Amino acid sequence: MTGDGHGFFVFMVAIQDERRHRAFLAEAQLRHAWQFRQRGVAAASDPVEVNVPVGWHRVIKRLFTEVETLVPEAERGGFRWRRLVAAHGALEIRFDGVRDRIKPAVFRAREAAQVTCETCGRPGRLLLAAGSRCVSCDLHFLERLRDCDRAGEQAASNWWMSPHPGLGGRAPIVVLRTGAPPEILIDLALRRAMPDAPRINGAHRQRLQQTWPVLREAFGERLRSLRLAEFDPASQRGGTLLALLAGEADAAAQAGVATALARAGFSDLRLRLVGEGDLQAPATATDPWSAMLALEASISIPRYQPAAPF
């Protein structure tokens, strides 16, 4: 397939998805009309915002059906969806009225979305790739990685079509057709998508070293090293701070430590925790993108040493 062919393919998929989305919406509004309008307000004047990927349609359909059974006729006048939107791999749901009755159904829908591929509806997980956060199955994660291949669209297409020694002489595309993508293929695609390792000057280094005490405070001896990736000061997009930890990365600790970092003046850095095991097998890590950044596309931030007094 040529680069242009790939572009056309993506375009066709986008059109098909758009059609499927319109059909999905039309059917839902027909079947559950009361969920989409507010008593006394013309539906067109303040339409419900529904923007969910095709892979999540089934999750949303189930939600509409559950709400149908949970809200009795007498209470339907005050209810209406306001917003059903996919944002950074999470399903955002807002509505007016009858909160307690439908809360469990809303909770279930959010939970289901967390493990459902946004593209195809098969089991998936929340996966980062080049700054975007989506729920993907392995196959569609690979597709996302192909789309951010550093060598460009044409080179990526060629690579996917060409025999590879790491895959027993088969082309990646052929391997994919045989079933679930093997770890090695995810590993190879991750490597191809990695950004350049950052370059920092003395001032950056001095500033970044101040992150050491913050993370040391949070993780103690478990903190093995700190690395910097996806850092491009000119772009104003900040950077990714990778904390390499002994043992498993503790996802529960992430939010608290990120807050501590922001308080210390580092709100421009996105913190990612990478465990020892993640480095051994990035493809199966909780966060494969960050694990590969740590291995392939980051630089070490030297340990902070307070200046010795004279």
Q: Which stretch binds Zn ion (CB under 5 A): 18-26, 80-88, 132-140, 236-244?
A: 132-140
- Nearest approach in angstroms of CB 3 to Zn ion is 23
Backbone torsions φ then ψ of 134, nearest 5 degrees = -140, 160
Alpha helices by DSSP H, listed for 93-182, are 99-114, 138-147, 153-161, 172-177
- Nearest approach in angstroms of CB 26 to Zn ion is 24
- Nearest approach in angstroms of CB 125 to Zn ion is 11
| Residue type at 230 in one-letter notation | E
Alpha helices by DSSP H, listed for the chain, are 3-31, 57-70, 99-114, 138-147, 153-161, 172-177, 183-193, 202-209, 211-219, 254-263, 276-280, 288-296
- Nearest approach in angstroms of CB 145 to Zn ion is 13
What is d(CA 158, CA 82) in angstroms, rounded to the nearest whole number?
45
Nearer to Zn ion, 14 or 155 (CB): 14
- Nearest approach in angstroms of CB 117 to Zn ion is 3
- Nearest approach in angstroms of CB 249 to Zn ion is 25
What is d(CA 71, CA 65) in angstroms, rounded to the nearest whole number?
10
The C-alpha R_g of the chain, in whole angstroms, comes to: 23
297 touches Zn ion by CB under 5 A:
no
50 touches Zn ion by CB under 5 A:
no
What is d(CA 35, CA 106) in angstroms, rounded to the nearest whole number?
14
129 touches Zn ion by CB under 5 A:
no
54, 109, 127, 137: residue in contact with Zn ion (rule CB under 5 A): 137
Nearer to Zn ion, 137 or 226 (CB): 137
119 touches Zn ion by CB under 5 A:
yes
1, 25, 98, 120: residue in contact with Zn ion (rule CB under 5 A): 120
Nearer to Zn ion, 176 or 215 (CB): 176
**61: its two tokens:** 């359909």
Q: Contact residues for Zn ion (CB under 5 A)?
A: 117, 119-120, 137, 140
